[in-house]
Structure 1
């Protein structure tokens, strides 16, 4: 016969058991509460928590195993986080399983990966059972003692506060798209820092920006607008876009600006497809590249495909890897060898394309903004913007970390260099403690976008008839291309002004920003004026093309493409 107390304890044990499936720490807090306030026997609390943890671990392992046979389940739970664990599980299984037990947000993808990669069940179960026993015993004991000695003095509300803290941490980690650098470093090797690869393959570029004008005329290195959060800064731009959409009776009219590019190149377009639009006679200006598809298979198979493709295209390491659907430098990294390429591929979203591009060995980088009005024979260069990679200059006394933290510009984006941003590969501790020699220029990132601290200078005074003719020929070789920005690397200013000595690394369409407006010598009103001018040209071109019979993209498809790109950005491997 069950007594009322026995029935109550049984209900509590069952509830605790199933609660572990939702959140182990919450179940431990609940069991401690039941022990302190409901007189649940401590052994029953331990057994309920422990059995729930072990059964939950086995079920998660089973999900990964079953995903090999079920396409729907595979699409839901097998992604870059799971793929990137393979090497760690094969070499550090015990270490990884123990670490994920105490690291929020890491347990589920790790145990799924164990099933997916067919880690022997007996090995997995043994480690899981032992780790679960130690973890549950220690944490539950602490919770019971803490509750009995402290929380009980404050009443029930203290338990509620503790539960809210636990839930808060759970939600915080559930919204993170990537693991922390600290966690990754504890589990295995991180991608090499940019500086280690850069110094090895391009040592002659480290002391100065060859071919670029000096920055001596800069009155300041940081624009006031850079201190304003983007969510606030772009409100007037968004309102102006809405105004133009109402004026021209279409919010997707920019998609008609370049009719042969998806969304007109506003967002979500294939970068490789745009590069391939350049006519055969003008392809010599495009940096050599190949495009590979990331299949939903273990990374080694895709690596084989990548190596074969590189051989066919005469590409060799180092190579630049970047997403085919990209924006603002996310996921762009200089890859040193096949091992690092495998790591990059394994972290990349399934069923998406990767561009492998030959690095252009020039320091000079610029954005050439091109516009051609439909019906006109020739186009023009609207602006030229020089892009300086983020850098610091050594003084012979300060460490690299100190230089970064004390520089007016780099300290704004210091998280990217010091390892505080999961979407970017920062420097390791050894690099940060080095003392650069006096006058030595240290480049802080392979990419030079404003997002990671790049500095933009309006260089429209460099526009010459020769430069205009060169880019007009390139643009007119692309069917129905009217509005966009050519991102280039160039050898020298003199050659660039002659329309020579450069390679195109990317072509942006309707989404091309008027980046010359970000010159630190410009003011906030200048920035908005340039943005508004670019949008007026964009909508006008779309309007003229609509009159020629090109229909704007349906609103639903337009938004779908934008959402697809935004979703992918959070899944890309860290940039370099």
Structure 2
């Protein structure tokens, strides 16, 4: 029995037997025929840009976070400073100081994905190091201290006055609970999800992994709500009552050219969020958004496939209506250039 338990904790087997860890190409492969069918109906392979005319490429790939933040209502997102690649670290530090933005801060690529190169910065040394190693345009953001985070998937058909929430994902950050005797690394090895993050954690926080937490003491190791960074995704779509739907709809309609995508929101309490208080949009994702509530471990891969195709159908309808209203589809040449640029970006920020 001990042998089989040990075998079940092998990283490769964890990834094989838990579909939520399958590579993107593997998870989506059975759905490509449906994708091509939608392209055929649209008579355009890259029709997805028309889903969100106000966002570069519709938010499918290579969209600028800075440009998206500029679309958001004032005070609905963290204070954010933009820096071009190659900006000297001293200039970055001086600008941060001039804006009186206090630590901790968050550094992230202006164009990024899946939490790549996102880092919490605790002091000047962290900030300087992040600025020096960044190969792409990047953002320095105020850290939002609210403990809770949701990813709210929303859409509105252009010919309708009201939109709706189609799914909500809750996020449990990578946090360990002490037992009074085990090191943090030993605690991580007892959890299949955490075990997959060990190589990165050994590189980023090697000293912390040797600590022994007191019994029931909690330690947050990764303060980012990214699945690829160890966060557990929980389907909490039941939270989408009329009050929350109305709040999100009113907020989304203030974002010019936004019809389809996911808002990642930090908030204090769900009651305050429903009232539009004490929350901050940390990311707004467009036509490249996944319905991430599908990654709840309780869901099967068949549920995931159903949710993906359901949302693709919605995106197609929105794109078609916007196209009929005069929004051009991206050309094949533009689309291929976007894919090529994205491939290079992944290399730069991995």
Question: TM-score, with normalisation over the residues of structure 1?
Answer: 0.56
Which residue is 2:134 aligned to?
A: 348
Separation in 2 of the partners of 1:390 and 1:247? 42
Which residue is 2:165 aligned to?
A: 381
Relative to structure 1, is the Cα distance of residues 308 and 472 closer, same or farther in structure 2, using a 3 angstrom cutoff? farther
Which residue is 1:209 aligned to?
A: none
Which residue is 1:293 aligned to?
A: 84
Q: 1:477 aligns with which of 246, 249, 254?
A: 254
How far is the alpha carbon of 1:433 from its aligned partner?
1.9
How far is the alpha carbon of 1:227 from its aligned partner?
4.8
Separation in 2 of the partners of 1:357 and 1:260? 23
Separation in 2 of the partners of 1:493 and 1:364? 9
Separation in 1 of the partners of 2:333 and 2:260? 23
Which residue is 2:47 aligned to?
A: 253
Q: Contact conserved, 2:247 with 2:274, CA < 8 A, in 1?
A: no
Which residue is 1:458 aligned to?
A: 235
Q: Contact conserved, 1:292 with 1:309, CA < 8 A, in 2?
A: no
Output aligned runs, 1:109-128, within 5 Å: none
Structure 2: runs of 5+ lacking an equivalent: 1-15
How far is the alpha carbon of 1:514 from its aligned partner?
0.4
Give the SS at the match of 2:146. coil
Q: 1:390 aligns with which of 174, 186, 195?
A: 174
**Aligned pairs, how many?**
335
Q: Contact conserved, 1:462 with 1:497, CA < 8 A, in 2?
A: no
Which residue is 2:33 aligned to?
A: 239
Structure 1: runs of 5+ lacking an equivalent: 1-221, 296-300, 420-424
Give the SS at the match of 2:196. helix
Which residue is 1:496 aligned to?
A: 273
Structure 1 residue 569 corresponds to structure 2 residue 346 = yes
537-546 or 486-495, larger mean C-alpha shift: 486-495
Which residue is 2:74 aligned to?
A: 283
Separation in 1 of the partners of 2:108 and 2:306? 32
Which residue is 1:304 aligned to?
A: 90
Which residue is 1:336 aligned to?
A: 122
Indicate the structure (1 or 2) with the bigger Cα radius of gyration: 1
How far is the alpha carbon of 1:311 from its aligned partner?
4.1
Which residue is 2:331 aligned to?
A: 554
Structure 1 residue 416 corresponds to structure 2 residue 200 = yes
How far is the alpha carbon of 1:285 from its aligned partner?
1.5
Give the SS at the match of 1:570. helix
Separation in 1 of the partners of 2:344 and 2:165? 33
Output aligned runs, 1:46-85, within 5 Å: none
Q: Contact conserved, 2:20 with 2:297, CA < 8 A, in 1?
A: no
Relative to structure 1, is the Cα distance of residues 457 and 377 closer, same or farther in structure 2, using a 3 angstrom cutoff? same
Q: Contact conserved, 1:464 with 1:497, CA < 8 A, in 2?
A: no
How far is the alpha carbon of 1:235 from its aligned partner?
0.8
Larger strand proportion, structure 1 or 2? 2
Structure 1 residue 225 corresponds to structure 2 residue 19 = yes
Q: Contact conserved, 1:394 with 1:403, CA < 8 A, in 2?
A: yes
Give the SS at the match of 2:75. helix
Deviation sequence 1:103-135 (CA, Å, 0-9, x none): xxxxxxxxxxxxxxxxxxxxxxxxxxxxxxxxx
How far is the alpha carbon of 1:234 from its aligned partner?
2.0
Deviation sequence 1:173-232 (CA, Å, 0-9, x none): xxxxxxxxxxxxxxxxxxxxxxxxxxxxxxxxxxxxxxxxxxxxxxxxx98313534332
Relative to structure 1, is the Cα distance of residues 324 and 246 closer, same or farther in structure 2, using a 3 angstrom cutoff? same
CA RMSD between the two structures: 1.9
Which residue is 1:361 aligned to?
A: 145
Larger helix proportion, structure 1 or 2? 1
Separation in 1 of the partners of 2:156 and 2:21? 34
